[in-house]
Chains A and B, each alone.
Chain A
C-alpha cells in the first residue's frame, strides 16, 4: 500500500487538534494541552508542535492567553468547518472533478449520486 498522506507533521498535528475540537474533546473557550505536552504525547519535536499551534492561532481556531496557554476560540467549530469546506471544494476536489470530466459524468448524474448517498446514510 502506498501511503499518500505526505503532508508535513505540523499540518497533520493542526488537523488532529481540529478533529478533537469537532469531536468535542476540546471545548470552546477551554484550555488545550500546552505545546510541550502535545509534543510529548505525539513524540514530535517541540518546534513542530509549536508550528501547528501557530497555524491554528493565525486561523483564529485557538487563541493565546499570556502565561495561561492556548484556548479554543468561541467560533472554532464554525471556522474549522468553513476552512475544511474551502479546501475540499478547492484543491482536494480538483482530481475528482478532472476524473469526472474525462468520464463525461454530467452535473445531473453527480447530483443524483450525491442525493442517493445522503439517503443511504440516513
Chain B
C-alpha cells in the first residue's frame, strides 16, 4: 500500500509548489498508469515515493515505511527507473555483481530472459551502449529485482518498436499480486493495455483516480463518421470522423477505455 496524505513539495528556488496538498492511496497488485501534463509533478511524486525527495509537509507511507528514512530494508523493496539513465562505464556483469546483492528477490534468470528478448547480450559493457540500449539494460535489471514496488518514469521513451512489445511482455511476466508498478507516461498507446488503474494528476492534485474496469462501466468511448446526437461529453475530430466519449447507460455494451480521450476530457474540465 502506498499512501500520500496532504503532501506538498517545492523545489529550491521555485515560487510555487510542484505538488500541493496532494493525497492518494494505492493498494498492491496493480499496474498503475500515472498521467499528467508536462510539469504536473509526476516525477516529483515518484521521487517522493522512492525517498529521493523529502515532503515539505504531509505524510508519505510506502508499505509501512517512511521513504525519507531511507532504511536499507525499505530501499531493498523499491526500484525507480528514472526517465534519463546514467550508468557507470563498467561491464553489465560487474554492475550486476555490485548492485544485485541489495535486492533479495533479484533473479539472474529474469535478467537473462529480459536481456535476450531485448536483443542484448549479457556480455555488454554499459559504457558502450546507445541511449535505447542503456534503457533496455536498465529496465531488464529493474524488472529482475522483483521489488514489491517498481516505479518507472517514461519507460518506453527511446525503446525501438520490438523493444516496446518485449517491455510489455516482461512487465506482465514479473507482475504478481504483491507487486505495485507505477508507470508515469505520455506514451499512453504504448502501455494502455497493461494498466489496471489510471491516475491523472496536475500540481493541484488528483483529477481522476479509477480502475480501468470502473471506467469501462462508466463511459463509452467511440469513433464514428458522424457524432452521435445525444449524450456526448467530449469529442475531437480525427481522420475520417470523430473520437467521442459518452456516459454509459447499463444497457450499452462496454467499450475499451481510450486514455487519450479520457485525459483530454479530464483536462478540459477545469473545475
- With an 8 A cutoff between CB atoms, is B9 at the interface? no
Asked if residues A6 and B225 are in contact (CB atoms below 8 Å), the reply is no
Residues of A within 8 A of B241 (CB): 2
Asked if residues A1 and B240 are in contact (CB atoms below 8 Å), the reply is yes
Asked if residues A48 and B193 are in contact (CB atoms below 8 Å), the reply is yes
- With an 8 A cutoff between CB atoms, is A45 at the interface? yes
- With an 8 A cutoff between CB atoms, is A77 at the interface? no
Supposing A9-B256, A39-B172, A45-B31 touch, asked if A2 and B194 sit within 8 A by C-beta, the answer is no
Residues of B within 8 A of A67 (CB): none
Which one of B168, B194, B223 contacts A3 once the chains associate, using CB atoms below 8 Å?
B223
Residues of B within 8 A of A4 (CB): 223
With A and B bound together, what is the CA distance between A40 and B165 in angstroms?
10
Asked if residues B173 and A40 are in contact (CB atoms below 8 Å), the reply is yes
- With an 8 A cutoff between CB atoms, is B253 at the interface? yes
- With an 8 A cutoff between CB atoms, is B216 at the interface? yes
With A and B bound together, what is the CA distance between A8 and B211 in angstroms?
14
By beta carbon, the residue of chain A nearest B176 is A46
- With an 8 A cutoff between CB atoms, is A43 at the interface? yes
Asked if residues B172 and A7 are in contact (CB atoms below 8 Å), the reply is no
With A and B bound together, what is the CA distance between A2 and B241 in angstroms?
7
By beta carbon, the residue of chain B nearest A40 is B172
Residues of B within 8 A of A48 (CB): 193, 212
Convert B210-246 into 0s and 1s, putting 1 for each residue whose CB lies closer than 8 angstroms to a CB of A.
Answer: 0011001000011111000000000000111100000
- With an 8 A cutoff between CB atoms, is B169 at the interface? yes
- With an 8 A cutoff between CB atoms, is A88 at the interface? no
Residues of A within 8 A of B258 (CB): 6
- With an 8 A cutoff between CB atoms, is A11 at the interface? yes
Asked if residues B169 and A45 are in contact (CB atoms below 8 Å), the reply is no
With A and B bound together, what is the CA distance between A47 and B224 in angstroms?
29
- With an 8 A cutoff between CB atoms, is B175 at the interface? yes
Residues of B within 8 A of A45 (CB): 31, 172, 175, 193-196, 212
Residues of A within 8 A of B168 (CB): 43
Supposing A40-B172, A43-B194 touch, asked if A6 and B240 sit within 8 A by C-beta, the answer is no
Residues of A within 8 A of B173 (CB): 40
Would you give the shortest CB distance from A60 to chain B, in whole angstroms?
Answer: 21
With A and B bound together, what is the CA distance between A40 and B193 in angstroms?
11
Could you list 7 A-B pairs, sorted by A, with CB under 8 Å? A4-B223, A6-B258, A41-B169, A43-B165, A44-B194, A45-B194, A45-B196
A residues sitting closer than 8 Å to B (CB atoms) are 1-4, 6-9, 11, 36, 39-41, 43-48, 51, 91
Q: Which 10 A-B pairs have the closest CB atoms?
A: A43-B168, A6-B255, A2-B240, A8-B256, A44-B193, A40-B172, A2-B223, A39-B172, A8-B254, A40-B173
